Amino acid sequence: MPEHTDRASDWMKGDGPFSDVVMSSRVRLARNLAGFPFLSKTSATQRREIACACRDHLMDSGIAESMLWVDLPDSSEMDRQILVERHLISRQHAKGGEPRGVAIALDESVSVMVNEEDHLRIGVLRSGMQLDDGFAHANQIDDLLEQRAGYAYSSRFGYLTACPTNVGSGIRISVMLHLPALVMTGEIEKVKQAANDMHLAVRGFHGEGTEATGDLYQISNQTTLGRTEQEMLADFQREIIPKVIEYEHAARQAMADRRTYLLDDRIHRAQGVLTSARLLSSSEALALLSHLRLGVSMGRIADIELGLINELILLTQPAHLQRIAGGRLDGEQRREFRAEFVRRRLTGG
């Protein structure tokens, strides 16, 4: 398990470019080993063989100074949940007993899922808007792995993946955005519509199939065939994400100019509740932290770091909270502990 589950990963620190709007950038590459079926058609033996081969390739390739391998079937449910909350594995990958695992760089900037939907899912995470850097790193890991593992590839369809929607470059570029002002002004619907027209997916904080909570939206590409990685990156880096950032900035400015009291009320009310509530559910905490984050990034609240809020967004999730408490808590106990924890961290107590 990652060592410091009581604090945020580096990529969540909130110090990257455009961190007032962009929480994190992620690049993921889907790959499969040549000579094996995809996972829906593997025997138990083959599955184990793939897991072992991938683990060896990952641990021996010099991907990071220090790599951690987590064997998921042997891990506790709590540990797996921690990995999900830290965005190091998908929800789907946390389930089931078949041989599978994840290799994680010590700074958590890299996580490679083994035997998820594909044999390999190489993931790189960065704080703020750092897609070029994230892709360069993912690409380098891919090169290192390719020297050891032969990939399933065809010149016609590119990197072959279990689901045809990922075939080709196998790349998924995602940017996690904090868009509270677009939500408050109702303009967020236009963003969703535009994203849809551009063949982009818009998902919530927890990825596939989740609603956006805490005004957090993840925008990612769906097309992987017929366009180069560089073209896709350039779109995100120079067109799509800057437009959304600009839009959110305009909405923030409009709120500040025309709905000053409403804006400040939301922000300070959030601060008030977070620093005095005695019970907090995880969704309420996330919604309030979102408004507080808006206040901090607009300079309307002093003395609180963006990094602290990002950290609280992570640590107030159920598994992290219980890890900090040092044991299992039921729903009621969690709400109580969460309120106390948030209060303490925000008031410096």
Partner 1 sequence: MKCDKCDQPATVHLIEIVNGKKIEKHLCEKHAVEEGVTVKMTAAPINDLLEKFVMKQTGEAETVERQACESCGLTWDQFRKRGLLGCPGCYRVFADQLMPLLERAHEGSNQHVGKAPRCAGAGELRQQRLMQLRRELDQAVAAEQYERAAALRDEVDHLEQDDT
How far, in Å, CA of 152 to CA of 318, rounded? 39
Which residue pairs from 261-268 have beta carbons closer than 8 angstroms and sit at least 24 positions apart in sequence?
Answer: 263/184, 263/300, 264/295, 264/300, 266/184, 266/291, 266/294, 267/291, 267/292, 267/294, 267/295, 267/298, 267/300, 267/301, 268/295, 268/301
How far, in Å, CA of 41 to CA of 35, rounded? 13
The site map against partner 1 for 155-194 (x = CB under 8 A) is xxxxxx-xxxx-xxx-x-----------------------
Interacting residue with partner 1 among 5, 115, 220, 224 (CB under 8 A): 224
Nearer to partner 1, 212 or 285 (CB): 212
Does the protein bind partner 1 through residue 46 (CB under 8 A)?
Answer: yes
Interacting residue with partner 1 among 146, 264, 284, 336 (CB under 8 A): 146
Tell me which stretch binds partner 1 (CB under 8 A): 32-40, 92-100, 125-133, 259-267: 32-40
Does the protein bind partner 1 through residue 36 (CB under 8 A)?
Answer: yes
Nearer to partner 1, 108 or 118 (CB): 118
Nearer to partner 1, 81 or 224 (CB): 224
Interacting residue with partner 1 among 75, 213, 223, 281 (CB under 8 A): 223
- Cβ atoms of 272 and 265 closer than 8 Å: no
Nearer to partner 1, 39 or 182 (CB): 39
Q: How many CB atoms lie within 10 A of CB 144?
A: 16
- Cβ atoms of 51 and 101 closer than 8 Å: yes
Angle, alpha carbons 272-278-280 (nearest 5°)? 80
Give me the sign of the Cα torsion angle 236, 242, 243, 248.
positive
**Interface with partner 1: number of residues (CB under 8 A):** 47
Instruction: Find the helix or strand (DSSP H, E) in which 100 lies.
Output: none
Nearer to partner 1, 40 or 76 (CB): 40
Closest CB 62 distance from partner 1, rounded Å? 16
- CA dihedral in degrees (318, 319, 325, 327; nearest 10)? 120
Q: How many CB atoms lie within 10 A of CB 125?
A: 28
Instruction: Find the helix or strand (DSSP H, E) in which 68 lies.
Output: strand 67-71
Closest CB 110 distance from partner 1, rounded Å? 18
Does the protein bind partner 1 through residue 96 (CB under 8 A)?
Answer: no
Closest CB 299 distance from partner 1, rounded Å? 39
Closest CB 166 distance from partner 1, rounded Å? 9
Does the protein bind partner 1 through residue 115 (CB under 8 A)?
Answer: no
Residues binding partner 1 (CB under 8 A): 32, 34-38, 40-41, 43, 45-46, 117, 139, 142, 146-148, 150-160, 162-165, 167-169, 171, 196-197, 199, 222-229
